[in-house]
Amino acid sequence: MAKEKKVIDIEDLPGVGSTTAEKLREAGFGKMEAIAVASPGELMDAAGLGEATASKVINAARSTLEIGFETADQILERRALIHRLSSGSEEFNKLIGGGVETQAITEAYGKFGSGKSQLAFQLAVNVQKPEGEGGLGGGCLFIDTESTFRPERIKQIAEENEMDADAILKNIFVARAFNADHQMLLIEKANELIEEHNIKLIIVDSLTSRFRSDFMGRGTLAGRQQKLNQHMHTLQKWADLYNIPVFVTNQVMANPGLLFGDPTTPIGGHIVGHQSTYRLYLRKGKDDKRIARLVESPSFPEGEAIFRVARKGVHD
């Protein structure tokens, strides 16, 4: 009886030759895990496979990884691999369990001037610090959808913290998204940069701006939400596969139906709410103070933290 060939690379999967493998890698399916959790339709679109072949490829990848149920202690052991990225503020870090978590999407929403982009800039700098100093020892991929990225501010934060500003800037890879489809494409292709440049953080500032402008009117709401859902699933896929944090900012609107309390509501509805692991509501305080409120988290109670935004960046 012939010995079954061990599947190691995606070329070893049944029905996947070198040409198909290249197409799969270009579409973000370069790892066995990515293929195992894909749908047949995704592989059909990515590599031109037939439905039967796509299903066969997925099943082979799943059997290789032994995907299925596992005990809770195994999950706890795997979660020991999770790291946390410091925000620069100990109070803010405590609010979310020690920092921005890998394998998770952290969403920060708030009005203009609430500190969303400033927090994003700080994280883009901090991620390049060694792990022992609150960083993750890698670069940052930054998707700018509102033309708010300022390299001058990055340089200022780095210099104020006695870091090599030129080196910091060279490790932040910035792309301007011109519409929702472009934004989705940039994230779908992100794995190439992640692997080539040791990317340890993905930032999208802001998540919903382009979707909001491209899909106007109630008649387009379903289409917008469907694409937004797909976009966030891709972000979560990279967070899981590469054990990195994803930090997204979000716009807000006023809820006219709310008679009491704060009418500020994040854009994106339940789709963004369900897909974000952590949701933070930022608002401006007096002077340089900002207030962060943890709205949703799988394991931490609601609470608030006060932090400052100054020349040196985010701090207590």
Can you give the pLDDT at residue 81?
A: 87
Number of alpha carbons in the 13 Å side-chain half-sphere of residue 78: 10
* CATH placement of domain 78-315: 3.40.50.300
What is residue 96's three-state secondary structure? coil
Q: Does domain 10-65 have CATH number 1.10.150.20?
A: yes
Amino acid, single-letter form, for residue 102: T
Residue 239 CA: distances (Å) to CA of 36, 91, 199, 264: 16, 25, 11, 28
Which of 272, 289, 292, 270 has the alpha carbon at shortest distance from 280? Answer: 292
pLDDT per residue as tens digits for the range 241-281: 899 999 999 988 766 555 555 667 888 878 888 889 999 99
pTM attached to this predicted model = 0.81
Contact status, residue 137 vs residue 130, Cβ threshold 8 Å = yes
Quote the pLDDT of residue 5. 45
Query: Cα separations (Å) of 127 from 32, 42, 77, 169, 302?
Result: 27, 32, 24, 12, 26
Please give the share of the chain, as a percent, with pLDDT higher than 90. 57
* Of 128, 97, 281, the residue nearest 203 (C-alpha): 128
Q: Which of 43-52, 67-76, 121-130, 192-201 has the lowest mean pLDDT?
A: 67-76
User: Which carries the bigger pLDDT value, residue 45 or residue 155?
Assistant: 155
Q: How many Cβ atoms are within 10 Å of 284's Cβ, its own excluded? A: 16
CA 153 to the chain's CA centroid: 22
Give pLDDT, residue 256: 59
- Name the residue ranges covered by the structural domains of the chain: 10-65, 78-315
Would you tell me the crossing angle of helices 116-126 and 151-160 to the nearest 10 degrees? 60
SS3 247: strand
pLDDT of residue 199: 97
Helix (H, G, I), strand (E, B) or coil at 101: strand
Work out the burial of residue 12: count CB atoms within 10 Å of its CB; fewer than 13 is exposed, 13-18 middle, 19 or more buried. middle
Rounded to whole angstroms, the Cα distance separating 15 from 12 reads 9
* Omega before 297 within 30 of 0, i.e. cis: no
**Model pLDDT, residue 127:** 98
**Model confidence pLDDT, tens digit, residues 92-145:** 999 999 999 999 999 999 998 899 999 999 999 999 999 999 999 999 999 999
Task: Give pLDDT, residue 3.
Answer: 41
Note the pLDDT of residue 49.
Answer: 87
CA–CA separation, 94 and 276 (whole Å):
19
* pLDDT recorded at residue 146: 92
Using one digit for the tens of pLDDT, what is the confidence trace for 293-302?
A: 999 999 899 9
Q: What's the confidence (pLDDT) of residue 182?
A: 96
What does residue 243 show for φ and ψ, rounded to 5 degrees? Answer: 55, 55
87: pLDDT strictly greater than 50: yes
Q: pLDDT over 70 for what percent of the chain?
A: 94
Among 5-9, 212-216, 284-288, which stretch is predicted with the lowest mean pLDDT? 5-9
